[in-house]
A and B are shown apart, each in its own frame.
Chain A
């Protein structure tokens, strides 16, 4: 059973702990600029929105790669970049509709979220549960529960 990264922007405070954790596991430094998950601030609306690779089933990046440097991790379902194979042609960055696979100048290869072998650092670092790692088939479960609770009779809703 695969799990997937679930993002709930309404819980995000913009603290960037996830960006630090991601960059640390990738580079050994705390460097938000190198994070594969990004938090976007919408100042006028007072919103913070985390964004990263959603691990498409039919991944554009994987299909676009001319050297088969992007493979599926059979344990996690993540689409991973094999650094030694990647030639840095960036075709995948053009193919990805979401912009979540990006070129890294220093490495000369592309980088994307690989779900940290099934134990995502960003999820562990998030203090507000805006990022969780859940059953891939049941990403909406908590929202269903919240709506279900609204339909309970008044007295039992407290329970």
Chain B
């Protein structure tokens, strides 16, 4: 058990809400969250439908372990079709709202259609209602959060909302919950805006029970926590430095994409690293880092809470930004910093605040600004496009300006909001766009880390490190070290990471747990909580089933093997200029055919009938 076995269906067109039982037959094959919600999407929608049309559905979903005492088990996901990529979107977030949804008694909320006027969904346990949001439309996420808390007089209310960027059509808009956690990637916030749905506010006090074997579960989760506490990454590195511990590491191995991937090492990395966040500033005598923090139920606590120097140009006249707020993760520090050539730590921190405040994916935003900076430096964009702003690499002022106009959807910000692919196409240089399937790259360069290139090229939601984090093996030696510059064996490695991650994303726990946990640690926790026998093998088969189902969705949506590629810059045009990978490009063509083979797909990247049958698809 462990599921609440209840689904809330919200028809926004009609303004109606109904309750139905969770399809437990599907849950046995897809677990929950990412896997199960994708199954619902596949069964209920046409993959060819326009992502921003009422025909697309948006599903908020928890996993069977969400809201339990298992470490990191506070996750929820948003599953829908992406307007950025035209592929499947599944964005995962921590914070507290996943637990609140589960505590209110819901495994899943399915949004259908489009509301005639702005609305928000208010849930108090069994009670769910759509309420008018005309007064919230045009407000930021932070304002919306505050207004809903005031209106409902419920301090424990948890809110997930979209900001102004989504309303203005930014294609990489996020859904932000608990002020600074986000279902960030692939434009799930844009889909929410297209449905005239401003926010979901939840209070749940029913408790999460239904644990199949409570005593065994307590033991299994205790064992799991011990493994996390004793591991160097989850027990020390992440709580101490957060994901930012990687900034200097990835720079040293020559895989830190710099200035729109023109280089692979950044001379300013040390100034924006985890170590720099702890240094006392000249301006106010404090450090950027205020404290670390945890998402619901997490015993790792990798979150950063930061404070910008009161004398810094970004906040000196803005007292509302002078308190503590969500600090930099490695991805955001890289995209808004390194990729734009900016080494001003507080400016990057401030730009990241704005991403939380107005609901934007900072990876896509930073990478799109980086592409715009290259277009500017090469003369394809001029000051006439940018209201006179010199949009140059390294300019903290330009970074903050570009972030602000995109957040508001004003002027050139409208164009930045289209993402790097559409922006570069518009200005005639599509090869400047560092994207796969239209989604911007994260912080690892495929020239210096070969396997991650294959993971990006084959990721079902476009370029993404969280679909198959082979960096763990290629750089950190988890579970075992492979050579980052080697291509042999990477096909199998990528598949193994992709399948295992699909399981993790479907049970309600955080992928960062897998720095320490293998499936041998995770399966017993699922097994004790859920009905049925959940062996390691069964879990991994579920993972492979989910991955293949997502692939089938994408193929039905019109994507092909031609989309499993990397920008020319990385496979041909610009070899790594420095570091251990100097002279190398990514050898995708050596890995991709083998990948299709180990997946049981045809040379054209289509799952064979035999594979589908084996997986019960």
**A 19-60 binary contact with B (CB < 8 Å = 1; else 0):** 011011001111111100000000111111000000000000
Residues in chain A near residue B435, CB distance under 8 A:
none
CB < 8 Å neighbour of A30 from B71, B207, B298 = B207
Residues in chain A near residue B293, CB distance under 8 A:
13-14, 46, 48
Q: Is the CB of A46 within 8 A of B291?
A: yes
Interface size class of B (residues with CB under 8 A): 35 or more
Task: Determine how close the nearest CB of chain A comes to the CB of B299; give it in whole angstroms.
Answer: 4
Q: In the complex where A29-B207, A33-B205, A46-B324 touch, is A17 in contact with B103 (Cβ < 8 A)? A: no
Q: In the complex where A16-B296, A20-B297 touch, is A45 in contact with B69 (Cβ < 8 A)? A: no
**B 298-334 binary contact with A (CB < 8 Å = 1; else 0):** 1101010111000000000000000111000000000
Q: Is the CB of A43 within 8 A of B299?
A: no
Which secondary structure characterizes the binding site on chain B? loop
Residues in chain A near residue B225, CB distance under 8 A:
127
Could you tell me which residues of chain B, from 365 to 408, have a CB within 8 Å of some CB in chain A? none
Q: Is the CB of B206 within 8 A of A31?
A: yes
Flag whether B11 is at the interface (Cβ < 8 A): no
Task: Determine how close the nearest CB of chain B comes to the CB of A48; give it in whole angstroms.
Answer: 7
Residue of B nearest to A24 (CB): B69
Flag whether A125 is at the interface (Cβ < 8 A): yes
Flag whether A73 is at the interface (Cβ < 8 A): no
Q: Is the CB of B292 within 8 A of A30?
A: no
Q: Is the CB of B103 within 8 A of A31?
A: yes
Task: Determine how close the nearest CB of chain B comes to the CB of A99; give it in whole angstroms.
Answer: 13
Residues in chain B near residue A117, CB distance under 8 A:
none
Q: How many Å lie between the Cα of A30 and that of B529 in the bound state?
A: 13
Could you tell me which residues of chain B, from 41 to 80, have a CB within 8 Å of some CB in chain A? 67-69, 71
Q: How many Å lie between the Cα of A98 and that of B517 in the bound state?
A: 41
Task: Determine how close the nearest CB of chain B comes to the CB of A46; give it in whole angstroms.
Answer: 3
Residue of A nearest to B102 (CB): A30
Flag whether B566 is at the interface (Cβ < 8 A): no
Q: Is the CB of B69 within 8 A of A15?
A: no
Q: Is the CB of A127 within 8 A of B299?
A: yes
Residue of A nearest to B295 (CB): A15
Q: How many Å lie between the Cα of A21 and that of B217 in the bound state?
A: 13
Q: In the complex where A15-B296, A125-B69 touch, is A32 in contact with B307 (Cβ < 8 A)? A: no
Flag whether B472 is at the interface (Cβ < 8 A): no
Flag whether B204 is at the interface (Cβ < 8 A): yes
Task: Determine how close the nearest CB of chain B comes to the CB of A20; give it in whole angstroms.
Answer: 5
Flag whether B229 is at the interface (Cβ < 8 A): yes
Q: Is the CB of A15 within 8 A of B209?
A: no
Q: Is the CB of A44 within 8 A of B324?
A: yes
12 contacts between A and B (CB under 8 A): A13-B303, A15-B298, A15-B299, A17-B297, A28-B214, A30-B208, A31-B206, A31-B208, A32-B103, A43-B325, A46-B305, A127-B71
Binding site for B on A (CB under 8 A): 13-17, 20-21, 23-24, 27-34, 43-48, 125, 127-128
Binding site for A on B (CB under 8 A): 67-69, 71, 96, 99, 103, 156, 179, 204-209, 214, 225, 229, 239, 290-299, 301, 303, 305-307, 323-325
**Interface contacts beyond A30-B68, A34-B207: sample of 6 additional A-B pairs, CB < 8 Å, sorted by A:** A13-B301, A15-B295, A16-B96, A30-B208, A43-B325, A46-B290
Pairs A-B, 9 closest by C-beta atoms = A31-B207, A29-B207, A46-B324, A44-B323, A15-B294, A33-B205, A46-B290, A127-B299, A13-B301
